[in-house]
Chain A
Amino acid sequence: MTKVQSEERRSAALLLGPAVLLFIGIGVAPLLMTILLSFNGWHATTGIDPSISFRNYADILSDGYFAQIFLRTLWIATATTVICILIGAPEAYVLRRMSQPWRSIFLMVIITPLLISVIARTLGWAMLLNGNGLVSTALQGAGLSSRPVSLMFTQTGVIIALVHVLVPFMVLSVWSALSRMDRSAEGAALSLGASQFTVFRRIVLPQALPGILSGAVIVFTLAASAFATPAIIGGRRLKVVATEAYDEFLHSLNWPLGAAIAVLLLIGIVTVVVGCNRWIERRYATVFQ
C-alpha cells in the first residue's frame, strides 16, 4: 500500500468516525440491550431477574390476548397501507400532470401533515372524531345517523388518523417513480389506440409500481410501529403492539416482557420489509435500475 492510500484510508476512517459512533451509541447498543433484556425473567415483588430464558416469548406466543393485539396491529397497518395506495398513487399522478406553480403549491399541501406536531395533529383528529365532533355532527346533519357517532377508540378512527399522516410518504414515493417516466410513452400508447384508462392501467401503473411498493413498505413500517396516534385515538381500549409494549414498561413495570413484545414487533416488521424488497428486486431487476 502506498503512503497516499494509507493516508486516504486514515482520513476516511476519521470522517466516518462520528457517524459510526452515533449509530452504535443510539442504534446498536440500545437494540442489543433490549434484546438481552427480553430474555430476562421478572417477578412482581423482586423485579427483573438476570436469568436467561425464552419464557417471555413463550408467554406472548401462547396467550390469546397478545395474539389479538398483534393481529389488530397487522390489520391496522395493512388497511392503512392499502388506503394510502388508493389515495396516494392517483394523487401523485395528478400532481405530476399539474403545471407550475400549482404543482409546488399542492406538493406543499400534501406534506403539511408531516409539518404539524404529532400531538397537535392527533388531538385535532380526536376533536373531529368524538361524539360531539364535526364528523358526528355532519353525519347526523346529513341524516345518515340518528345519534352521535364516535370514532374515538375504534380501529376506523386510528386508521383515518394514520392515513392522514402517512399518505405523504406514499405520494412522494410514487412521485419519484413517476418522474423517471417518459411522458411521450403515454402519447405513444394513445396513438396506438389505447384509451386514457388503458394508458393508466397498462403504461403508467406498471411504471409507478416500484414506487407504490416502496411507499407501501414505508407506510406499513410506520403504521405498524406507530405509537402516539393509536395511544391518543385508540387509547387503553384499543391497544396495538407499540402501546402494549409501552404499558408493560411503564405501568406493569415488566420490562423484560415489554422488551420481548418490542423485539417481536421488530422481527415482524423486518420480515415484511425484507420480504417485500426481495420480491420487488426480483420482479423488476430487468426493467428498472
Chain B
Amino acid sequence: MPFLVIEGLRKTYGAVHAVDRLDLTVERGEFIALLGPSGCGKTTTLQMIAGLVEPSVGRVVLDGADMSAVPPNRRDLGIVFQNYALFPHMSAAENVAFGLEMRKLSRTEIGKRVRDALAMVGLADKSDRYPRQMSGGQQQRVALARALIIGPKALLLDEPLSNLDAKLREEMQVELRQIQSRLGITAILVTHDQHEALALSDRIVVMNGGKVEQIGDPFTVYENPATPFVAHFLGKNNVFAGEARDGVLHIAGRPVGLHLATGRVLVSLRSEKIRLIPDTTDALSGRIVSRIFQGDHWLFRVETAAGVATVLRQNDGTEPPREGTRVGLAWNESDAWIQPQTESAAAPSAPETEQPIWEPAEALVEA
C-alpha cells in the first residue's frame, strides 16, 4: 500500500489554477523531487501536503489516513523552508527542542534528543548560538534537525539548498541524501534546480503551469523526456529544425541520419551527446565561435546553418579544436529526439536552461 497518495489535487486562485489535477503516489522511504520553473505550482503542492494551504479540490492521504480535515499541527510532517524559518529569538538547541516541547516530553528526554539531533547534523558545539550568529549552512542544518527530531511521517523540503553557495550546496546534497536513507524517511523536495533533483531523488515529478509533465526516475526523465517541456527543461539542449524526406533526415540541407516519417521536424539533442568531428558533407557543419574551459569539460558554441549549437565535451587531456575551426556535428541516432514540427510542438521556454535555437536555415547566412 502506498504511503502517500495525492488525488486530483487542485488549487485555484481567482481564475488561475496554481495546481491542476495533480495525482501522485509515493512509497514509504522514497525521495521525490517536485521540479519545475518558478510559478509551476510545486511549492503550492508542498504546502497543500503540509496543510498550510487548503486544496480547492482533491485530497492527500498519508499512511492510510485522509488528511483533509487534519490541521497542519497534527499531520506529523517535518518541514524545511527555503529561508529556514528558524525562530530568531531562540538558540539552536531551543529551535530544535520546540517540536518535542509541543509533544510534552520530559525535560531530560528533550535535552538528550536535542543533543543527538544536533550531533547528527554536525552542530553539537553550536547549540547555544542564535540563528543570526550562524552561517547559512549551519542554519540549514538546524532547520533539518528541527524537522527530523519529531520523528515525522515525511520530510517536506521547500528549496532547502537554494540559499547556499555552490560548494556548500553539493556537500549538503550528499549529507541530506545520507540522512534521509539512513532514517528511511519519506522525503518530498521542491526545487527548480535540475541538478539537485537529479542528484537527490528516486523519482522526479516535472511540473509546468500547475500540471505534471512527467513522473519518472532521474535517468528516465533525463534520457526519455515525455514532453517537449521536459526535454528543454532538463540538461543543456539543442533544437534544430529539420526535414525528413525519402527516409533521410536533413538539417540545413545536409543529410544527418535516417528518419522514417516525412515532413518538417524538430530535432532535440543534448549538448553532451554531440561529437565534434572533421567537417564532412554528411554531417551538420559549423564553425566554432567560442570555446570555454570548465576544468572537467569544454563548452563549445558552434555556429551552424541551423543555428548556434551548444556542445559539451569531456576534458580527456587532449586539446580540442580552436575557435574559428570548421567542424562537423555528429551524434548517435538514438540520442536524437525527433518530433513533427507543429505550432504546439514548438518548445516552451525554460528559464533555467539555455534557450533553444531553431531558426529555419534560410534565416542564417553563413559568414
Complex Cα–Cα for A206 and B132 (A): 16
A191 x B87 contact (CB < 8 A):
no
Contact with B along A179-219 (1 / 0, CB 8 A): 00010110111111111001000110011000000000000
A185-B86 in contact given A192-B99, A192-B150, A193-B103 (Cβ < 8 Å): yes
A287 x B132 contact (CB < 8 A):
yes
Interface residue A288 (Cβ < 8 Å from any Cβ of B): yes
Q: Shortest Cβ distance from A285 into chain B, in angstroms?
A: 10
Q: Shortest Cβ distance from B156 into chain A, in angstroms?
A: 8
**Across-interface contacts of A191 in B (CB, < 8 A):** 50, 52, 72-73, 75, 77-79, 147
Partner of B88, one of A190, A193, A202, A207: A207
B87 x A189 contact (CB < 8 A):
yes
**Across-interface contacts of A287 in B (CB, < 8 A):** 88-89, 130, 132
Complex Cα–Cα for A185 and B143 (A): 11
Complex Cα–Cα for A224 and B49 (A): 52
Interface residue A289 (Cβ < 8 Å from any Cβ of B): yes
A187-B98 in contact given A203-B87, A206-B89 (Cβ < 8 Å): no
Q: Shortest Cβ distance from A288 into chain B, in angstroms?
A: 7
A185 x B130 contact (CB < 8 A):
no
Complex Cα–Cα for A189 and B147 (A): 10
A184 x B83 contact (CB < 8 A):
yes
Residues of chain B in range 62-103 having any CB-CB distance to chain A below 8 Å = 71-79, 81-83, 85-89, 98-99, 102-103
Interface residue A5 (Cβ < 8 Å from any Cβ of B): no
Interface residue B315 (Cβ < 8 Å from any Cβ of A): no
Complex Cα–Cα for A202 and B94 (A): 11
B72 x A190 contact (CB < 8 A):
yes
Q: Shortest Cβ distance from B316 into chain A, in angstroms?
A: 47
Interface residue B133 (Cβ < 8 Å from any Cβ of A): yes
Q: How many residues of A contact B (CB 8 A)?
A: 21
Partner of B85, one of A182, A194, A206: A182
A187 x B81 contact (CB < 8 A):
yes
Q: Shortest Cβ distance from B160 into chain A, in angstroms?
A: 12
Interface residue A62 (Cβ < 8 Å from any Cβ of B): no
Interface residue A100 (Cβ < 8 Å from any Cβ of B): no
**Across-interface contacts of A192 in B (CB, < 8 A):** 73, 98-99, 102, 146-147, 150
Complex Cα–Cα for A188 and B52 (A): 10
Complex Cα–Cα for A198 and B87 (A): 13
B99 x A193 contact (CB < 8 A):
yes
A185-B85 in contact given A191-B73, A287-B130 (Cβ < 8 Å): yes
A187 x B102 contact (CB < 8 A):
no
B85 x A187 contact (CB < 8 A):
yes
A188 x B88 contact (CB < 8 A):
no
Q: What secondary structure prevails in chain A residues at the interface with B?
A: helix
B72 x A187 contact (CB < 8 A):
yes
Complex Cα–Cα for A61 and B161 (A): 65
Interface residue A46 (Cβ < 8 Å from any Cβ of B): no
**Across-interface contacts of B76 in A (CB, < 8 A):** 193
A194-B102 in contact given A206-B89, A287-B88, A287-B130 (Cβ < 8 Å): yes
Complex Cα–Cα for A188 and B74 (A): 13
Q: Shortest Cβ distance from A162 into chain B, in angstroms?
A: 31
> Which of A192, A286, A288 has its CB near the most chain B CB atoms (within 10 A)?
A192
B72 x A286 contact (CB < 8 A):
no
Complex Cα–Cα for A203 and B146 (A): 15
B102 x A193 contact (CB < 8 A):
yes
Partner of A286, one of B133, B143, B147: B133
Q: Shortest Cβ distance from A81 into chain B, in angstroms?
A: 23
Complex Cα–Cα for A201 and B73 (A): 15
Q: Shortest Cβ distance from B197 into chain A, in angstroms?
A: 22
B83 x A182 contact (CB < 8 A):
yes
Q: Shortest Cβ distance from B20 into chain A, in angstroms?
A: 23
Task: Look across to chain B and name the residue whose beta carbon is closest to the beta carbon of A207.
Answer: B89
Partner of A188, one of B71, B81, B89, B103: B81
**Across-interface contacts of B75 in A (CB, < 8 A):** 191
Contact with A along B236-251 (1 / 0, CB 8 A): 0000000000000000
Contact with A along B130-158 (1 / 0, CB 8 A): 10110000000001001100100000000
Other A-B pairs, 7, CB within 8 Å; known A182-B83, A194-B98, A287-B132: A182-B85, A182-B88, A185-B86, A187-B50, A187-B52, A189-B98, A193-B73
**Can you pick out 17 interface pairs between chain A and chain B where the beta carbons lie within 8 Å of each other?**
A185-B87, A187-B50, A187-B52, A188-B85, A188-B86, A188-B143, A189-B87, A190-B52, A191-B72, A192-B99, A192-B102, A193-B76, A193-B99, A194-B98, A198-B102, A286-B130, A287-B132
